[in-house]
Amino acid sequence: MLRLGSCDPDRLGQLCLPGLVWSHLSDQVSTLAAERNELIAERNDALTKLDQLERSVGNLEQVETKLSAARAEQNRVVELTESKAQIATAKDEIAGLIKRIKQPENPERVPGTGSTPQVETATQRSRAFRAALN
């Protein structure tokens, strides 16, 4: 009985050629299988990197959302700070006006000047108060 890889010298052309072809095809199949395995590994690496990138994009979107909210909060704080400063200024102006209103209307002399003060009428005080509010 003949083995597949052996060649009979009398029948060299008939038996050796199929064995050589089979051996060559077997080598090609092994090479292609190795290349396929390499390509599968490269594909898996690429899919892993893609997944990481997609997660990074999601994380970036979350950071952008938080940053936008922080900007809005900062703007609100700035507006509140400006409003508080305006309120403090208005309070000071009102306190000054109240002080002026409570001063005696007709003092005999202005202290330190030796002159008689001008009398301010209620209408003049009212106008001054309105001007201070605007």
Residue 106 forms part of a structural domain:
no
Number of structural domains, the chain?
1
In this predicted structure, what is the pLDDT of residue 120?
65
Residue ranges making up the domain that contains 41: 9-99+123-133
Query: What average pLDDT score do residues 33-57 get?
Result: 94
Ranges 8-17, 72-81, 99-108: which has the least confidence:
8-17
Which structure tokens are listed for 39? 């390509």
In this predicted structure, what is the pLDDT of residue 65?
92
In this predicted structure, what is the pLDDT of residue 67?
94
Who wins on pLDDT, 54 or 116? 54
In this predicted structure, what is the pLDDT of residue 111?
54
129, 97 in Cβ contact below 8 A? yes
In this predicted structure, what is the pLDDT of residue 127?
78
Work out the percent of the chain whose per-residue pLDDT is above 70: 72
**Residue of 98, 100, 78, 102 whose CA lies nearest to 90:** 98
In this predicted structure, what is the pLDDT of residue 2?
39
Q: What is the DSSP string of 63-112?
A: HHHHHHHHHHHHHHHHHHHHHHHHHHHHHHHHHHHHHHHHS-SS-SS-TT
Inform me whether the pLDDT recorded for 37 exceeds 80: yes
In this predicted structure, what is the pLDDT of residue 108?
54
Residue 104 forms part of a structural domain:
no
Residue 114 forms part of a structural domain:
no
Residue 21 forms part of a structural domain:
yes
Say which residue the tokens 């002026």 belong to. Answer: 100
pLDDT-based confidence at residue 102 (cuts at 50, 70, 90): confident
Residue 85 forms part of a structural domain:
yes
Inform me whether the pLDDT recorded for 118 exceeds 90: no
Residue 53 forms part of a structural domain:
yes
Residue 109 forms part of a structural domain:
no
Residue 50 forms part of a structural domain:
yes
